[in-house]
Amino acid sequence: MNTRIFASVALVAAMAVGIGGQARAEFPEKPVEMTILFGSTAQTIGQLLADLMSKHMPEPVVPVSRPGGGGAVGYQYVHGMPADGYNIVWNSNSISTGYHNGGIPFDFNAFQPIAKISVEVPAFAVRADSGWNSLSDMAADIKASGQKLKIGASGKGSFTHLTTEAILAAMGLSDMAVHVPYDQGRAPVELIAGRLDAALQWPGQFISHHEAGTLKILCVTSAKRISQLPDIPTCAESGADGMDIVMWRGLAAPAGTPEDVIVKLEAAAKAAAESDAFKQAAQTIGFEIDFADHAAFGELIARDDKAIADLMGQLGMKAQ
C-alpha cells in the first residue's frame, strides 16, 4: 500500500515536473506486457509472477498468452517489439532448444536478460514393480536382458526429451531405449498402466502416485536434491555421473532495452520472487525459486545454450 501511495505521489510529482519543465517520462508510464509462451505450469507461474510484480510497480504487469510453435510464436512477437521495456517475455531454455532445432530464426542474443526467477527439475520414475532402486540397477538389468527400455517424455526436441537422452547417454543405454512422445502429461499414467518402463516428467505429476506406491521416483536431474522431494536422490547419486540439468525460467526484454529500465523490472521481479505468496506457490505447484540478477542470468543463458547445442549435436537434432 505504502509503495502504491509513494508511487502515485512520485507520479504526480513527475507529472508536475513534466508540465513545468521538460523531463523524460519515468518508466513505466503504461502497463508492461508479459508474453507467456506455454500453457500449464509455465502459464500459472507467469500469471502469478505478473500479479505480484504489479504490486511493486506503479503500472501493472499484464500477462498475455502467446503459445504455439514451441515458444517460437511468442519469442517472435516480443523480438519484433520496440526495446523500451513495455514488452517482456517469460522465457526458458526453450529459446535454445527452439533456435537449435530450427524453429526460431534468432538465438538468445536477441534478448536482454532481466532476471532469473525459478528452476524446475524433472524427475525420473519407473514402475513400482520394476525392482529397480537406482539408475545403475536399471541399466544393469536392461543390459543383461537385452530388452529395450520404453521411456516416455514429451515430444522430440522438447526439454524433457533432451534430458531423457542425456540420462540414457550417461548410463550407456542410448541404443537400448525407445522414446515414446506424450502430451498433456499422460506419460505417468502410461507408466502406471504398465505400457512404459520409465518416464521423465515434472515431479508434480509423479508425487501423488509415488506416495500411493503406484510408481517409484528414482531420481531428480539437478545437482542438488529438491525441497519438494528431500528423500529422493539426484540422478548423479543414482548412477548418472555429473548429471545436472534443470529448466530455468526468467524474464527478458528485446535486445537494446535501456539499462535503467532493465534494473527497474529486475527490482520488481526480485520483490515478487521473494514474496510469501510466491514461496507458497513454489511448494504447491512444484518449482524452486532461484533468483539471479540480469548479469548472472545472462551468463547462465549463454552457458546453457552451449550445453544444449552440444547435446542436440550429439543426438543429430541440431539444425543450425
* CB closer to another protein, 142 vs 240: 142
- Nearest distance, CB of residue 43 and another protein, angstroms: 7
* CB closer to another protein, 93 vs 292: 93
* CB closer to another protein, 73 vs 223: 73
Q: In DSSP terms, which residues pair with 247 in a beta bridge?
A: 120
- Nearest distance, CB of residue 212 and another protein, angstroms: 4
Q: Which residues bind another protein (CB under 8 A)?
A: 39-41, 43-44, 47-48, 51, 63-70, 72-73, 76, 101, 103-105, 148, 150, 154-158, 178-186, 188-190, 192-193, 195-196, 204-205, 207-209, 211-212, 214, 281, 283-286
* CB closer to another protein, 155 vs 256: 155
Q: Is the peptide bond before 188 cis (omega within 30 degrees of 0)?
A: no
* CB closer to another protein, 36 vs 236: 36
C-alpha–C-alpha distance, residues 116 and 252, integer Å: 9
- Nearest distance, CB of residue 121 and another protein, angstroms: 16
- Nearest distance, CB of residue 278 and another protein, angstroms: 11
Angle ∠(96,204,219) on CA atoms, nearest 5: 75
- Nearest distance, CB of residue 54 and another protein, angstroms: 10
Which has the closest alpha carbon to 236: 248, 249, 218? 218
C-alpha–C-alpha distance, residues 28 and 238, integer Å: 49
Sequence-ordered list of residues with C-beta below 8 angstroms from that of 47, at least 6 positions apart, any chain:
36, 63
* CB closer to another protein, 11 vs 271: 271
- Nearest distance, CB of residue 132 and another protein, angstroms: 20
- Nearest distance, CB of residue 73 and another protein, angstroms: 5
* CB closer to another protein, 198 vs 240: 198
- Nearest distance, CB of residue 161 and another protein, angstroms: 8
* CB closer to another protein, 49 vs 240: 49
